[in-house]
């Protein structure tokens, strides 16, 4: 499969994650979790900048009103606009005080599926943040909660547990926001990297970033490997479609604190284009609106 891969901005992210396209700004946002910063790259101009947040942001969504919804450490969830302060919707979650959120995704109704990292004493969880601001715990016993995506008909949700090297598929109840009938969809081979962030393209193909695998792997809707795109860095962390025609893939990487082992461009944001592969717009969250 032909492709073009290009580094866009290198902030040497320790853990670059969570890329998200903002169609109103024609810009990509992403986070460096432990360094407590968000970044913006404007596609039309190539201008990019960093924002100091002050606490780790494990994932974020774009709200219907144009603000961002940040998912942070301790179960905290806050509204934010570039250059502004944090306006907390959820101060903390008592069961998540020793950990943080990791990867989030908006569903068809504007609710947010949001996973948490494990602690030394217990495994992680997957929650649903409902539109009125309440929290519902959906899954427990998660090794490392990671990338999610919907099938094109929105009847099923893909969910990555990195520690188990597995992307699961769940039946998705659009009305209630519940998950059912869990089954493994992709089990990553040993030695090929760990499944991390992911997205689904317009044809229903799943694209999974591989931490320590130096690649992005595409799968057909039936789970057959479609493509394996190599990267010049070790830790490929997440991917999203963007651009006015959603024909560009934006890929975050990690390891900027150890470029000597993870690659000279470790921690950079990349743009990947594959002829014939396009995505769709992400849903916007409507929490508290």
Q: Name the nearest CA neighbour of 72 among 101, 112, 106, 35.
A: 101
Q: Which of 32, 103, 107, 196 is catalytic?
A: 196
- 90 vs 27: CA distance, rounded Å: 27
Largest CA distance in the chain: 49
Cβ atoms 198, 215 nearer than 8 A: no
Active-site residue flag, 87:
no
Q: Name the nearest CA neighbour of 286 among 64, 125, 129, 67.
A: 64
Cβ atoms 18, 28 nearer than 8 A: no
**Inter-CA distances, 210 with 15, 128, 162, 207, 249, Å:** 13, 25, 10, 10, 15
The DSSP letter of residue 31 is E
What residues contact 145, with CB distance under 8 A and at least 6 apart? 102, 103, 115, 116, 117, 124, 125, 126, 159, 160, 161
Backbone angles phi, psi at 31, to 5 degrees: -125, 150
What residues contact 168, with CB distance under 8 A and at least 6 apart? 158, 159, 160, 161, 182, 183, 184, 185
Cβ atoms within 10 A of the Cβ of 115, count? 27
Alpha-carbon dihedral sign for residues 146, 147, 151, 152:
positive
Backbone angles phi, psi at 163, to 5 degrees: -65, -30
Which amino acids are annotated catalytic?
A: 196
């Amino acid at each position: 499969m032909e492709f073009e891969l290009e580094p866009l901005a290198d902030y040497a992210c320790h853990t670059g994650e969570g890329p998200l396209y903002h169609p109103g700004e024609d810009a990509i946002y992403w986070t460096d979790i432990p360094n407590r910063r968000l970044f913006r790259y404007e596609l039309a101009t190539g201008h990019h900048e960093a924002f100091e947040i002050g606490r780790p942001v494990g994932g974020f969504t774009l709200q219907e009103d144009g603000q961002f919804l940040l998912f942070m450490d301790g179960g905290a969830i806050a509204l934010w606009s570039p250059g502004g302060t944090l306006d907390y919707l959820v101060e903390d979650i008592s069961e998540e005080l020793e950990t943080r959120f990791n990867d989030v995704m908006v569903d068809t109704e504007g609710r947010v599926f949001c996973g948490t990292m494990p602690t030394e004493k217990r495994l992680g969880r997957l929650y649903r943040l409902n539109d009125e601001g309440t929290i519902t715990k959906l899954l427990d016993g998660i090794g490392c909660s990671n990338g999610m995506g919907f099938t094109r008909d929105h009847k099923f949700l893909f969910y990555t547990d990195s520690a188990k090297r597995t992307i699961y598929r769940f039946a998705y109840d659009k009305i209630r926001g519940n998950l059912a009938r869990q089954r493994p969809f992709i089990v990553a081979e040993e030695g090929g990297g760990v499944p991390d962030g992911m997205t689904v393209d317009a044809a229903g193909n799943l694209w999974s970033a591989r931490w320590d695998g130096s690649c992005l792997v595409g799968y057909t809707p039936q789970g057959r490997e479609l493509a394996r795109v190599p990267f010049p860095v070790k830790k490929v962390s997440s991917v999203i479609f963007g651009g006015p025609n959603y024909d560009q893939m934006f890929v975050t990487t990690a390891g900027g604190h150890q470029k000597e082992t993870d690659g000279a461009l470790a921690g950079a944001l990349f743009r990947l284009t594959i002829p014939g592969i396009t995505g769709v717009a992400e849903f916007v969250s409507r929490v508290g609106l």
